[in-house]
Chains A and B, each alone.
Chain A
Amino acid sequence: MNEEEEKYDLKIILLGSSKVGKTTLVNRLTQGTFENPEQTTGATFSKKKYQGELQEYTFSIWDTAGEERFDSLSSFYCRNSGCELILYDITDRNSFTNLDRFFDKLQYTNEDSFVILIGTKLDLIEETSKLRKVTLEEGKKKANDKNSYFFEISSKTGHNIQELWETVGDLFEKNSQKNEIKHRQDNNHFQINSFTNNQKKKNCC
């Protein structure tokens, strides 16, 4: 039973500078609440169900500490990650200029993982756009350069949260369909020549 569950599981990891709203986003996604959380040290783990087209999946969400010093630890958490949410705060320029630090982490994640760049705290600029320090275009361009998807969100108002979650789910389903086809091909191949296939498997693990 567990095996089946694990097979369809997606590991999502949240990356981004300190104070950009990683834990707040996790709380919004998993509990539907908005509150000021305590700081995250190391990584915190939570899960959320996703209703796919044909079945329900369980996604695990890994929240990490944003401080630069913790980078050496977050490489561990990237193992087997299939989806990376990289966050910056649209009212904090530094959190945007720092982003490459987190894109560098992608070397530790799954080969076929997908990345979503997320600008947070959209609610703060609703009253006065003066607070905005990163334009929508800059965000989009960065995402484009890094071959990533892009959203601006507010965990406070819930703006774009549902859309973000649906996108994660869609991309995951597309990915797993692709993998299934590949898996089937691999299996056919296995019947033809079991020896080479075994070797192949070793390499990819």
Chain B
Amino acid sequence: MSDKDFNIESDESLEINETKTNLNSNQETKTTEKFDEYGFLIDEENVQISQKKQKKIKSKEEQEEKKKVKWNQFFKNWNFYFEKKKKKIGKQVIKGIPNSLRKEAWLRLSGSFEMLSNEKYSELYNNCLKKKDPKFQEMIVNDVKRTFSTNRFYKEKDGKEKLIRVLTAIAAYDPQIGYCQGMSSIAGLLLFYMDEKESFLTFLSLLERYHMSGTFRPGFPLILIQMHQWKRSLEKNLPKIHQHFKENEIIPEYYANVWFITLFADLISFDSLLRIWDVFLFEGFPFIFKVGLSYLKIFQKQLLSFSMNEILHKIQNLDEFSIEELINTANSFQIRSEELVEWRDEFFIEHKNISLLFENQK
């Protein structure tokens, strides 16, 4: 599609900037259960923390208003900003996208906004739903039951059914990939903000533009490459940790592959997850590397004093940090695309079969 069409679309969309998400839909609840601002069930023990959080949120409101002005400015002339003033968008994604504009921002950052107005994709969702492969149905239904299961949206039948349909369509889109565990958390996150078709197209964009078809394909070829790249980036950026892990026989496959499969969905608190996704959708996989490095750097001292069991335990409980610190530290690392290519080719030399697999895909 041409740029002209694109701009018309984006002008119209100005009117719907403040979108209601599925996270704060006012569904009737049968019990006295309490939910947080994102619709997650609150443990009684955590209620106090949540009240504290809410105070913080109030003081942030002013800041949020300023951010909204900036984002509306971007939306008005998205192509211009995305192509010519990319750094401005980059600065804003690091600060975090206002929740009410998140959907509009994510659609544009991921590229699915363009797909939505492209005829080629208009019937794709319905067509894929019709093509559904019964082989994956049971798995999808099982996984949906255990995806964001404490959230109000997915406690209801309606939310579950929507997620089942989106995953069914994704599984039918490319039979070589089908359905794979991990997909439900990602689609589940998108569906909090988007409708079914938008979630579906954004997922396709992840598969294609972000090359995640290689993530989910049998054998996880992209994950294997990324684990090698991760090892090299750790060696380069945090050599002490790299050495310490080596001495303790900790390989990246023990802890880092899930970061790249689920993009932290299900692994950390929800508001942290959103902040990581704000930047990931803008920057792509390099940011996942940076988040991993950031986390290890923040806890470097502790990790260096630990042996294998404690290290793995620590890395898996990714929650005791301030998200601002995590994002800012992540942003201080540089992962250059040339490096990633160099490390990927290094991996290909040792694993010719996987390199061939990638050739075939292109």
Contact = CB atoms under 8 A, between A and B. Distances in A.
Nearest to A68: B218
B181 A39 contact: yes
Contact of A41 (B185, B313, B316): B185
Nearest to A65: B181
Interface string A113-140: 0000000000000000000000000000
Interface string B139-156: 100110111110000000
Contact of A69 (B218, B308, B316): B218
B264 to A, nearest CB: 11
B22 interface: no
A36 B41 CA distance: 14
Interface in A28-63: 36-47, 58, 60
A45 B220 CA distance: 21
A27 to B, nearest CB: 13
Contacts of A69: 180-181, 216, 218, 220
Contacts of A77: 253-254
B146 A67 contact: no
Interface string A4-48: 011001000000001100000000000000001111111111110
Contacts of B147: 38-39
Contact of A72 (B220, B249, B251, B254): B220
A67 B180 contact: yes
A72 B219 CA distance: 6
Interface in A55-107: 58, 60, 65, 67, 69-70, 72-73, 76-77, 79-80
A70 B253 CA distance: 12
Interface in B213-232: 216, 218-220, 223
Contacts of A43: 254, 258
B257 interface: yes
Contacts of B251: 76, 79
B201 interface: no
Contact of A67 (B148, B181, B257, B307): B181
Interface string B113-143: 0000000000000000000000000010011
A67 B181 CA distance: 7
A193 interface: no
A36 B149 CA distance: 9
Interface string A174-191: 000000000000000000
Interface of B: 139, 142-143, 145-149, 180-182, 184-185, 216, 218-220, 223, 249, 251, 253-254, 257-258, 261-262, 266, 307-309, 312-313, 316
21 contacts: A6-B309, A38-B146, A38-B149, A38-B266, A39-B143, A39-B266, A41-B181, A41-B185, A41-B258, A41-B261, A41-B266, A42-B257, A42-B258, A58-B309, A60-B312, A69-B180, A69-B216, A70-B181, A73-B220, A76-B251, A77-B253
